[in-house]
Amino acid sequence: MSGESSIVFFGVPWDGAVAGRPGARYAPAHIRTALCSLPKRFDLEDMGDIDVVIGDAEETWKRIKETAKALNNRRQLLIAGGDHPVSAFTYQGLAEGRRLGYIVLDAHLDLRTTSEGLTSGLTTRLIREYAKEAPITVIGVRPWANPQYMFNLSEKLDVDYYTMDDLERLGLDEVVDRVVSCHKDVQNYISIDLDVVDPAFAPGVNAPSPGGLSTRETIKLVASLSKALRPIAVDTVEVSPPYDVGNVTSNLAAVLLYVSVWQ
């Protein structure tokens, strides 16, 4: 299947920006295997993995952007990272010629700068610098996983966020309604950093942080946002199979991509 009606999957086996626990380069293979084992309810075109360049971030990011740009007429892209900068350059490839909102489920605000060194914690900053007017929302932030200056920066850079306390106080349905209201007038990209999930449910991630979402809450959140907003792309990032237990994190990533398909 090809053209605008198709749903496309590809992997990005690269973790050259990980400052914590490496291994996300192995995730696409694990996620692909799990995704293929799920019941078939839509046609999926597997484009394989991007040919990354070990040790060359700039060339790898260029290839990610060019691949996304070449696929920007497809109905929906499903992407398995890789570490989180994969999202920034996939976003850039898709955002050319359109206003593209960015919704990310993440324990971290990811507003670091490149002057702080190559790190997966700069993704949201890169997207804001590229798309200065696009709505950006981060869901699942932990106060103990972010320095205070990140919260100050989020206000300065017009990045909305919901902490885990906000999710508990408001409830998932209310948070979904608020995010949809903010993003309903643009096309959207949804990124799922698996560290948004509590490490009790998703141990195989780069930067685990206690106090996160449960598996069931995460599935509901992704499915609800996708149904309401029909994103043009959804990715899962920061899965690190060497730290996983019985592939539960990779399996969850596959299910999250699966339920994000909005046809």
The band of 17, judged by pLDDT with boundaries at 50, 70 and 90, is confident
pTM of the model: 0.96
pLDDT of residue 21: 87
Q: 110 near 84, Cβ under 8 Å?
A: yes
Q: What is the pLDDT of residues 129-176, one digit of tens each?
A: 999 999 999 999 999 999 999 999 999 999 999 999 999 999 999 999
pLDDT of residue 1: 40
Cα-to-chain-centroid distance, residue 14? 14
Q: What is the mean pLDDT of the chain?
A: 95
Domain annotation covers residue 2 = no
| Res. 5: pLDDT tops 70 | no
Q: Looking at residues 184-204, what average pLDDT do you find? A: 98
pLDDT of residue 116: 62
Q: What is the pLDDT of residues 42-63, one digit of tens each?
A: 999 999 999 999 889 999 999 9
Q: 154 near 186, Cβ under 8 Å?
A: no
Domain annotation covers residue 1 = no
Burial of 170 (0-12, 13-18, 19+ CB in 10 A): middle
Domain annotation covers residue 186 = yes
Identify the CATH number of the domain in which residue 134 sits.
3.40.800.10
Q: Quote the CA–CA distance of 225 and 219 in Å, as a whole number.
A: 10
| Res. 193: pLDDT tops 70 | yes
The band of 263, judged by pLDDT with boundaries at 50, 70 and 90, is confident
Residue at 164: amino acid letter: M
Q: By residue range, what is the domain housing residue 39? A: 7-259
Q: Quote the CA–CA distance of 198 and 234 in Å, as a whole number.
A: 20
Total number of domains in the chain: 1
| Res. 253: pLDDT tops 80 | yes
DSSP H helical ranges for the chain: 27-36, 57-70, 85-95, 123-130, 148-156, 164-170, 172-183, 215-229, 248-259
Domain annotation covers residue 18 = yes
